[in-house]
Structure 1
Amino acid sequence: MTSSNILDALDSAQDRHLAELIEWLKIPSVSSDSTRKTETAAAARWVADKLQASGLATETMCTDGHPLVLAETPAISGAPIALVYGHYDVQPAEPLEDWVSGAFEPTIRDGNLYARGATDDKGQVLTHIQSVCDWMATGQPLPLQIKFLIEGEEEVGSGNLERMMPSLRERLACDCVVISDSSQYAKNQPAITYGLRGIATYELKIQGPTQDLHSGSFGGAVMNPAIALCHLLSSMVDDGGRIQIDGYYDDVAPLSDAERAAWAKLPQSDKQFAKEVGVDALFGEAGFTTDERRWGRPTFDINGLTSGHQGEGVKTIIPATASAKISFRLVPHQDPKKLTESLERHIEKHLAVGVRASLKPDHGAPGMAADPESRYAKAAARAIESAFGTAPVMIREGGSIPIVIRFQDVLQCDCLLLGWGLSDDNTHSPNEKFCVQDYYRGIKASAMLWAELGKLNQA
């Protein structure tokens, strides 16, 4: 079986590939919505049936939440083992009124397929499923063993998979994990992502009086919890974007001169970036470029604020409580647990008198970094260049995929983060999309990846 043979087979199957993606996208598998449990299970069945019908040994494994789908091709002696990870669950579609076409009514416009889950992650993980299933349909053996792990809880933190990872160690044993749940650097400029920021999220609540108070009768006599919260949040970051929590930067891994030089050569435009995200000007930590701040520096953000009267009109009160949802993006070597301890001390030090604070940690994961010069990365680069016609650039990603660090820790494997999406694909937002041409190119790149990895010996 030559590379040209499999690529020809993939070209002839494009209509089917698109129809199958559309079929899967119609299933509203919103993992965070308990009323969608039946539909989420249906999305798991869809992909399990697809894999099993193509001859892979397939199992749907129950968890305390949504099921895992596990599948594998036959073992190949002396060849590497690749594990493909992805997820079939999607984010909620709200606000529904902002969608041009229905979130679960896949629609093609201007060469893009619009639907919730189109790029995150049904479309991207399906590229690998299509390449493997179509290769097996030729009757020719794959040049390596490929395993699949497709879960239904990535959008809610992957808690069950994370807990089950040690017990799945032998089942998932591999040389490298392949994940397509990210983006190219730019349109027609593919990328290999070798680093991810970690994350730590919290809810901070300030409690004042036992009930809302009349702001005329009591104003000036008690501390307003909303004001106390604003002061506390302001104390965490200065006007230049530098985080003020003691010890926050102690474990931050500095960017290497080589990384900074390589990223400086990328065709990044601050003006264009600002336009794309809809702001008049960019802002961030002094001394670093936009890409450096997005990929390699830690951050602090306020994700939500709640206090007092939110309805129509004015209600002049001193609210009894105020709360904020906050998050930190972490870089390699920063520890979410250590951050929690530092944050608690900061709150105690800076909290106004007359109010009480409670900090509730949500979820956290450290950042990760893979070797951009590994033989697996080089094999992936060759495969991507053959499919896209352009060599990929090596980048990091500012977002977090917490399960990746668990793969590294538990499976002791390499990680390949190969994104076929684009930065304007509206992931987690209305009008999510996936470029149809990139879907097809992703399938080809996946097939070429198996060919390139198959040339590597395990030693």
Structure 2
Amino acid sequence: MTATDTLPSVLERIDSDIDNAIERLMELLRIESISTDPAYKAECDKAADRLVKDLESMGVDASKRPTPGHPMVVGHIGDTGPHLLFYGHYDVQPVDPLELWDNPPFDPRIEDTPSGKVIRGRGSSDDKGQLMTFVEACRAWIAVNGNLPCRITFFFEGEEESGSPSLIPFMKENADELKSDIALICDTSMVAPGVPSIASQLRGMLKDEFTLHGPKMDLHSGHYGGPALNPLREIAKIVASFHDEDGRVAVPNFYDGVSDISDDLRGQWQNCGFDEKEYLESVGMTEPHGEKGYSTLEQQWARPTLEINGMWGGYMGAGSKTVIPAEAHCKITCRLVGEMDPAEVRKNLRAHVEARLPVDARVVWDGDLDGAPAAVMNTDRPEFDAARKALTDEWDREAVLVGMGGSIPIAGFFKDVLDMDAMLIGFANDDDRIHSPNEKYDVDSFHKGIRSWARLLAEIAK
């Protein structure tokens, strides 16, 4: 029998076992695997152990691998068919502010909402719930057939939410073991509820930070107000110079490497079910404020940005303190697209700032911040056609190729380190409140996500 012949039985197994699958996810969600806080190191180890045990229960040759930080989990199963690597991360974001949670963040529960049942708890959407959709799909295949239609390598990380410091060294040291035909990543969302989505491009990221120094000390604003250079005033002028009146970044050569999207892709985005009005109103806006001449989705997915993430200086406590501060600070991030080179963007950005320094001012840059280029998926690969068919069949809605405004560096790492293409498919919704209090994952997303991966394995194995 072929994988297609046994698929109906696999889907029936998923449906009949969904309550147990949810409870297995709940067990993982109860583990407080916050990677950025050393106080939770033992919990991260516990989550890795839990995943190893779960994979082993399915017949996977799995193990916990030490790193200088939190451990990786690697598992292998199968000896026939295409070789797929599935990546997910078991670590989660901190839960602060705790008082904004309706229930304890690591006490997950099922809740009824106007749009359906949800799984509420930290990590339910990012990324434990998404990770477990693939694990449960494999579990169902093995339960029905005793094996999988493809060779699978499981690769679970424990530091994604804290910068992945151990990831690239681990990938380099274990390249021969991890090398597969293609990497599957389930850490993304659907463009609209019920619209299955495959990410075709991801924006890159550049971080920078500078301090503008003026007087050698804070000054009395009466004794020196007027003749003194005020770093806050000067940094405000510089920040205001970053954009023109149309929202276009005014840093010279900033758009080197940026290309317009194809008419075909633009057409897909225009008909993908995205609700611009709802998207904007959900955060209290009535219109987009980005680069004029581009739609909201193009601004979010296909255009670069320069954002001010923080600006401060002087006295910020209660009441008044009449000082001219000695220094002011600014944090910046740029989202990159196409062939933009992070190193060139950083050089041009810094030159733009330094050219605008007044006499008696100097700038000091943070030298520890990183950058990563954008990632464009190789959608000509046959796996993308297989995925579009599988997702369309499951969701009864044409699957669409979408962009992503955020950055998922692992996709680029697979290409750079292992020379592997990646395919990103996720079932989260924009209202899942990832990284925020009251994070949730729709039960429907979890259930149909499992079924989607089961269908995709059958399609790829053809």
TM-score > 0.5 by shorter chain: yes
* 1:274-285 equivalence runs, <5 A: 274-285=280-291
8 Å Cα contact 2:388/2:399 also seen in 1: yes
- Residue 224 (structure 1) aligned with residue 226 (structure 2): no
CA–CA distance in 1 between the matches of 2:102 and 2:244?
Answer: 40
The one of 77, 85, 96 equivalent to 1:83 is: 85
The one of 199, 205, 225 equivalent to 1:199 is: 205
Aligned to 1:421: 428
* 1:125-140 equivalence runs, <5 A: 125-140=131-146
> Which residue identity does 2:163 align to in structure 1?
G
Shift in Å, 1:139: 4.8
The one of 285, 288, 302 equivalent to 1:296 is: 302
> Which residue identity does 1:365 align to in structure 2?
A
Aligned to 2:448: 441
- Residue 208 (structure 1) aligned with residue 214 (structure 2): yes
8 Å Cα contact 1:73/1:146 also seen in 2: yes
Q: Runs in 1 of length 4+ with deviation above 6 angstroms?
A: none
Task: State the SS of the aligned residue for 2:371.
Answer: strand
* 1:16-415 equivalence runs, <5 A: 16-76=20-80, 79-109=81-111, 110=113, 111-361=117-367, 362-415=369-422
Task: State which drifts further: 37-46 or 204-213.
Answer: 204-213
- CA-based RMSD: 1.5
Shift in Å, 1:269: 3.5
Task: State the SS of the aligned residue for 1:381.
Answer: helix
CA–CA distance in 1 between the matches of 2:199 and 2:212?
Answer: 39
> Which residue identity does 1:16 align to in structure 2?
N
CA–CA distance in 2 between the matches of 1:221 and 1:135?
Answer: 76
> Which residue identity does 1:62 align to in structure 2?
P
CA–CA distance in 2 between the matches of 1:164 and 1:353?
Answer: 48
Task: State which drifts further: 181-190 or 257-266.
Answer: 257-266
CA–CA distance in 2 between the matches of 1:185 and 1:119?
Answer: 15
Task: State the SS of the aligned residue for 2:454.
Answer: helix
Count, aligned residues? 453
Shift in Å, 1:121: 0.5
Task: State the SS of the aligned residue for 2:456.
Answer: helix
CA–CA distance in 2 between the matches of 1:257 and 1:359?
Answer: 40
Deviations along 1:133-168, one digit per CA (max 9) or x if unpaired, are: 232233522111011111011112222112332222
CA–CA distance in 2 between the matches of 1:312 and 1:295?
Answer: 40
Shift in Å, 1:26: 1.3
Aligned to 2:16: 12
CA–CA distance in 2 between the matches of 1:238 and 1:108?
Answer: 48
For structure 2, the residue ranges without an aligned partner over 5 or more in a row are none
CA–CA distance in 2 between the matches of 1:380 and 1:272?
Answer: 28
> Which residue identity does 1:34 align to in structure 2?
P
Task: State the SS of the aligned residue for 1:216.
Answer: coil
Task: State which drifts further: 27-36 or 435-444.
Answer: 27-36
> Which residue identity does 1:429 align to in structure 2?
S
Deviations along 1:158-210, one digit per CA (max 9) or x if unpaired, are: 22112332222211111111111111111111111111000001122112223
CA–CA distance in 1 between the matches of 2:216 and 2:56?
Answer: 59
> Which residue identity does 1:227 align to in structure 2?
R
8 Å Cα contact 1:235/1:350 also seen in 2: no
Q: TM-score, normalised by structure 2?
A: 0.95
CA–CA distance in 1 between the matches of 2:448 and 2:403?
Answer: 22
CA–CA distance in 1 between the matches of 2:461 and 2:275?
Answer: 38
CA–CA distance in 1 between the matches of 2:36 and 2:213?
Answer: 29
Shift in Å, 1:363: 2.1
CA–CA distance in 2 between the matches of 1:10 and 1:276?
Answer: 34
CA–CA distance in 1 between the matches of 2:358 and 2:315?
Answer: 22
Task: State which drifts further: 87-96 or 269-278.
Answer: 269-278
> Which residue identity does 1:240 align to in structure 2?
D
CA–CA distance in 2 between the matches of 1:288 and 1:280?
Answer: 16
CA–CA distance in 2 between the matches of 1:253 and 1:411?
Answer: 27
Task: State the SS of the aligned residue for 1:277.
Answer: coil
Shift in Å, 1:278: 1.8
8 Å Cα contact 1:162/1:403 also seen in 2: no
Shift in Å, 1:450: 1.1
> Which residue identity does 2:135 align to in structure 1?
I
Task: State which drifts further: 128-137 or 88-97.
Answer: 128-137
Task: State the SS of the aligned residue for 2:355.
Answer: helix
Shift in Å, 1:346: 1.2
Task: State which drifts further: 314-323 or 434-443.
Answer: 314-323
